[in-house]
Structure 1
Amino acid sequence: MDRLDTINAFVQVATLGSFVAAADRLDISPQLVSKYVAQLEARIGGRLLNRTTRKVSLTEGGERYLVRAQQILADFYDMENEMGQLQSQATGRLRINAPVSFAERHLASLLSDFQCANPQVEIDLQLNDRRIDIVDEGFDIALRIGHLQDTSYIAKRLTPIKMVLCASPDYIAKHGMPDNLDALKSHHYLHYSHETSPPTALAAWIDLARKNGKQSFVCNNGDVLTAMAIRGAGIAIQPTFICANALARGDLVSVLPDHAPPTMWLYAIYAHRQLLASKVRHFIDFASDYYGDNPYWDACKNSLGD
C-alpha cells in the first residue's frame, strides 16, 4: 500500500471531520479510508484520531502529524507539477557535441532558431571530430556525420550529406583528369584522418594510395583539406557543405562524378529513448525538420560563405 495514500486519507478525514466525507472526496469506500488510517497509525505506533459514533477528532499527536502531513502532500504535488512542466516545456542546460567544420558553417542558425523557440534552454556546445562517449563525457546529444556502425545509442537522421571527389583546375592541368578509378592510382590523395573508407570502389583506391605513398597529406579538418585541394595539393573527398561554394566558383572541379562516394547522413545521437528529457526531445524534433532532405548548401550553393 502506498504511504501517500494512507497519509492523504488521514489528512482528508482530519480536515473534513468524517470518514464518509473523506471517502467521497477520495472516491473510495469509507471502509478503505478507515483501513488506510488504521495502517498509518499502526506504522507510526500511535493513535492520530479519536473516533466516536458521533464525531472524529484529532489526538494531540494527530494535530502535530497533520501539520507535517499537509506539508508533505503539498511538496509532493508541487514536485509532480514541476516535473510535468519540465516534460511539457524544454528547460535546462543542453550539452551538445558537434563536428567542427559543420558547426562553424551551418549549426549557429539551427541553435539560434531553437533557442528562440525554446528560451528556457541553455546550450553548451563543444566542438570536435573525434568519437566520443556521450554518457561518460556528459553530453545530452552528439551530432555526427558518417556511415554509422552498430551502436548502443539512438541515432536520428537529420539531413543527407553529399560527398564529392574534387581537385583544383591547376592540379588537373598538371596531373591530368582521371577518367576511371584505375587512373586514380597515380594521383595524390588528401586524407581526412577520421575517415572510414566509403563502401564503394573508391575504397580500393584509398587503400592503394596509402600503400603506394600517394597519401600526400593527412588532416583531421575538412576545411584545411579543402583549402589544400584548392591550392593544388591533390584530390580530396569532401562533403558539399564545405566545398559547394568552391565548386560553384570554379576553384574546385568534380572528379569522376559517376563514382561519387555514397551519401552520408548528419545524425543526432543520444542515449535513451524512454523518459527522454524534454530539452532533448524538443531539440531532436526541431532539428529533424530544420535542414530537410535537400539542405540549402546543395539547393542554393551561391548562398554559402566560404
Structure 2
Amino acid sequence: MDRIETMRAFVTVVNAGSFTRAADRLEMSPQLVSKYVSQLEQHLGVRLLNRTTRKIHMTEAGVSYHQRAQQVLNDIDDMESQVGDLQSQAQGLLRISAPVSFAIRHMAPFLSEFQKAHPGVGIDLQLNDRKVDVVEEGFDIVLRIGHLKSSSLIAKRIAPVRLVMCASPAYLKQHGTPQRPEDLSGHRYLRYSYMELDARQPVHRWLQSNSQNNNSNMISNNGDVLVEAAIAGAGIVLQPTFISGSAIKEGKLQVILPEYEPEPMGLYAVYAHRQLLASKVRSFIDFIQDFYGDPPYWD
C-alpha cells in the first residue's frame, strides 16, 4: 500500500465531495479511489468516511485526519517544487476562486497572459461571490474583495476597489439628485446582498436603514444585474467602479454624493499559510501583483 497515494485519494474525495469527481481529478477509476480509501481506513483501524448513495460525510476521525493529511500533501508538493527549482517553470493545476463580476469583466486577459508566461500551469477557475474556505474546499488561491480581517491565511493586496453611488440621468431627473446623505430618503435602492455595511459611514447608515424599512427595493447577489437595472432607471446603486466605471464614462450612469464616497476596499489574493509556497501559487501572486495597477486601469 502506497500511503501517500491513499492519503491523496482520501483528501481529494473530501475536497471534491464525491468519489466520482475525485476520480476525475486523480485521473483514475472511482473503484480504485474507493479501494485506496478503504485501504487507508484499514491501515489506520478507523472509519474516516460514512458513505451513502448520494453523499459522503467525514467522521470525527476523518475531520482530524483530513486537516493533517492536507498539510502533509501540501508540504510534499512544496518540497518537490523547491527541490526541482521550478520557480521559472511553474507547473500543475491551479485552483482559483474569484468573485463573479470581477472575473467575468477583468480576469480573462490576465489569465491568458499568465498562461503565456507559465505554460505548464493549468487553470481551474470557479466563480462565486460567497466566502469560500480556501483549505476545506481545496483552492490554491482565492480572490476576495472587502476589508479583510486577520486570520491564519495570507492575504496579498492586489488593487484598491472604489465604491461609488450612482443612478441614471433619467432617474435623477425624475426623482431629484441627492446633495446630502439625508436626501437619499425616499429613493429606491438596488442592493447587493453580500454588501458589508459600516455604520460609521453616512451613506452606509442610510443604506442600512433603507434596507430594513423599504420593501420596494431590488436585491441581488450579482452586481452586474444591479448596475444594468440602474442604467434602466430602477434606482440608486452602490457598486465598485470595476463594474460601474464603463457606464459612468459613457454617461449612462451619474455619480452622486462623491464627497461621501465610502472608504475603498481592496482586491486580495488569499492563500493558505505555508512555509514553502508551491511555485504555481508563487508565480500567480508575483504575476497578478502589478497587473491591474494602483490605481487600477478601470479607474
The TM-score, its normalising length taken from structure 1, stands at 0.69
1:120 corresponds to: 120
Deviating beyond 6 angstroms after TM superposition, the runs of 4 or more aligned structure 1 residues are 79-82
Are 2:158 and 2:288, in contact at CA under 8 Å, matched by a contact in 1?
A: yes
Give deviations 1:241-262, integer Å, cap 9, x for gaps: 1111111111110011110121
Which residue of structure 1 lines up, in the alignment, with residue 43 of structure 2? none
Cα deviation for residue 202 of structure 1 reads 1.4
Measure how far apart 1:100 and its partner are.
Answer: 0.7
- Partner SS for 1:266: strand
1:203 matches 2:204: yes
SS at match of 1:186: coil
1:142 aligned onto 2:147: no
Tell me the number of residue pairs that the alignment of Structure 1 and Structure 2 aligns: 220
Partner of 1:155: 155
Tell me what 1:92 maps to: 92
CA distance in 2, matches of 1:126, 1:235: 30
1:83 deviation in Å? 3.5
- The answer for the alignment partner of 1:237 in structure 2 is 238
Q: How much has 1:87 moved relative to structure 2? A: 5.1
Maintained 8 Å contact 1:190/1:215: no
Q: Which residue of 1 aligns with 2:64?
A: none
In structure 2, relative to structure 1, the CA distance for the partners of 1:173 and 1:82 (3 Å cut) is closer
* Structure 1 residue ranges without an equivalent (≥5): 1-78, 299-306
State the alpha-carbon separation in 2 of the partners of residues 181 and 94 from structure 1: 44
Distance 1:81-1:208 versus aligned 2 partners, 3 A rule: closer
- SS class of match (1:296): coil
Deviation at 1:214, TM superposition (A): 5.7
Once residues 227 and 215 of structure 2 are traced to their aligned partners in structure 1, the CA distance between those partners, rounded to angstroms, is: 17
Once the two structures are TM-superposed, the CA of residue 264 in structure 1 deviates from its matched residue by: 1.1
What is the distance in 1 between the residues matched to 2:167 and 2:180? 15
What is the TM-score with the length of structure 2 in the denominator?
Answer: 0.70
1:185 offset after TM fit, Å? 1.6
Instruction: Check conservation: 2:96, 2:139, Cα contact below 8 A.
Output: yes
Using the alignment, how far apart are the partners of 1:150 and 1:200 within structure 2?
Answer: 22
Moved more, 205-214 or 216-225: 205-214
Q: In the superposition, relative to structure 1, how do residues 292 and 215 fare at CA in structure 2: closer, same or farther (>3 Å)?
A: farther
2:81 and 2:141 mapped to 1: Cα distance?
26
In 1, are the aligned partners of 2:81 and 2:278 still within 8 Å (CA)? no
Partner residue of 1:165?
165
Indicate conservation of the 8 Å contact 2:81/2:279, yes or no: no
Q: Is residue 2:177 matched to residue 1:181? A: no
| Distance change in 2, residues 1:245/1:87 (3 Å) | closer
Q: Which residue of 2 aligns with 1:225?
A: 226
RMSD: 1.7
**1:276 aligned partner:** 277
Q: How far is the alpha carbon of 1:281 from its aligned partner?
A: 0.7
Q: Are the counterparts in 2 of residues 187 and 214 from structure 1 also a CA contact under 8 Å?
A: no
Give how far 1:212 is off.
1.8
Is the alpha carbon distance of 1:261 and 1:271 closer, same or farther for their aligned partners in structure 2, counting shifts above 3 Å? same
Aligned CA distance change for structure 1 residues 189 and 122 (closer, same or farther; 3 Å)? same
The aligned amino acid for 1:115 is Q
Which runs of no fewer than 5 residues in structure 2 stay unpaired? 1-78
Letter in 2 for 1:267: Y
Bigger Cα displacement from structure 2, 219-228 vs 267-276: 267-276
Q: Is 1:240–1:297's contact at 8 Å kept on the other side of the alignment? A: yes
Distance 1:218 1:81 in 2: 46
**1-side partners of 2:268 and 2:148: how far apart?**
9
Whole-Å Cα distance in 2 between the matches of residues 248 and 190 of structure 1? 20
Q: CA deviation at 1:147?
A: 1.2
Q: In structure 2, what is the Cα distance between the partners aligned to 1:267 and 1:82? A: 25
